Amino acid sequence: KGVNDLDKVVLREVRGSSAEVYLYGGHVTSWKDEHGDELLFVSNKAIFKSPKAIRGGIPICFPQFSNFGNLEQHGFARNRTWCVDNDPPPFPVPTSNTAYVDLILKPTEEDLKIWPHSFEYRLRVALSPGGDLMLTSRIRNTNADGKSFSFTFAYHTYFKISDISEVRVEGLETLDYLDNLQDRARFTEQGDAIVFESELDRIYLGTPSKIAIIDHEKKRTFVVRKGGLPDAVVWNPWDKKAKAMSDFGDDEYKRMVCVEAAAIEKPVTLKPGEEWTGKLELSAVPSSYYSGQ
């Protein structure tokens, strides 16, 4: 089989951590620590083929987040089959022992009918020797007609957690957010951390580059670091919405939370020949090691 006929690429790191990337969606579907513990949530009902995006892992929302535009919800990148990029232009050289794969997405003739912009989207997925997962997106405007384009974006990460009632998200306190459950009205966060007691679907604006998801029961903290992505979406569908999703189990909302590094409020604009970089770095550490700094 040629490498682009594969369903997925598996990255393994010498100390035992691993990650899996589906060519369908350029979608990370698994990230395991050195003990083989899964760190990302994927629904038992997920469908791993077109036309639905895979429910869980890290869907890539491009060139549109949610319904901020006329395209299908969250754009089309998550519903396309990407190629392995065997000849990527120079990225910063990864440190030794970093396992990585480079993927590329270019629009088809059909895509150009729904979004008339030619682009090259290069995605590197890398696993560091310590087991950190790093995603780097480089999107270039290759329009020959001299036209700029704008897009919104999110790494729609589904974290696997012990129980939603045991989790809090730190780093978003005092920030403004748009509440997707209230016609995107703007509010200011009042709590000193986000906790979950019902459906929550918010776009936090102008967030710090580091956000922590603290799982008290598991005594594990996920640290999200991001670059080029000012916003952060926090989402849990809770029971009613869970029941309404055909590719999501009724009780699965208890075991997941989405914290999504994103660029939404101010779309990214690229002139022809310009390139944008958006980075996501995830680590999972025992909460006792996490100082909050």
Residues 6+ apart with CB under 8 A from 139: 62, 119, 120, 121, 122, 151, 268, 270, 275, 276, 278
- For the question of residue 35 being annotated catalytic, the response is no
Residue 58: CA count within 13 A, CB half-sphere: 31
In whole angstroms, what is the distance from residue 25 CA to residue 196 CA?
Answer: 29
Shortest CB 25 distance to ligand BG6, Å: 11
40 vs 126, which CB is nearer to ligand BG6?
A: 40
Task: Tell which one of 20, 102, 231, 260 touches ligand BG6 (CB under 6 A).
Answer: 260
Q: Is 66 in the site for ligand BG6 (CB under 6 A)?
A: yes
CA-CA distance, 135 to 280, in Å (whole number)?
A: 5
Query: Is 260 among the catalytic positions?
Result: yes
Q: Which of 74, 156, 252, 281 is catalytic?
A: 156
Binders of ligand BG6 among residues 84 to 123 (CB under 6 A) are none
Query: In the bound complex, what is the minimum distance in angstroms from residue 244's beta carbon to ligand BG6?
Result: 10
Per-residue binding string, ligand BG6, 220-259, x by CB under 6 A, is -------------x-x------------------------
Pick between residue 105 and residue 258 the one whose CB is nearest to ligand BG6.
258
What is the rounded distance in angstroms from the CA atom of residue 18 to the CA atom of residue 30? Answer: 8
Task: Kindly indicate which of the ranges 37-45, 66-74, 222-230, 281-289 contains the residues binding ligand BG6, using the contact rule CB under 6 A.
Answer: 66-74
Does residue number 162 form part of the binding site for ligand BG6 (CB under 6 A)?
Answer: no
**Per annotation, catalytic residue among 13, 20, 252, 260:** 260
Q: Which residue from 44, 73, 97, 277 is in contact with ligand BG6, where contact means CB under 6 A?
A: 73
Q: Are 164 and 196 in contact (CB under 8 A)?
A: yes
Contact 270, 142 (CB under 8 A): no
Applying CB under 6 A, among 201, 231, 252, 281 the residue interacting with ligand BG6 is: 201
Residues with active-site annotation: 156, 260
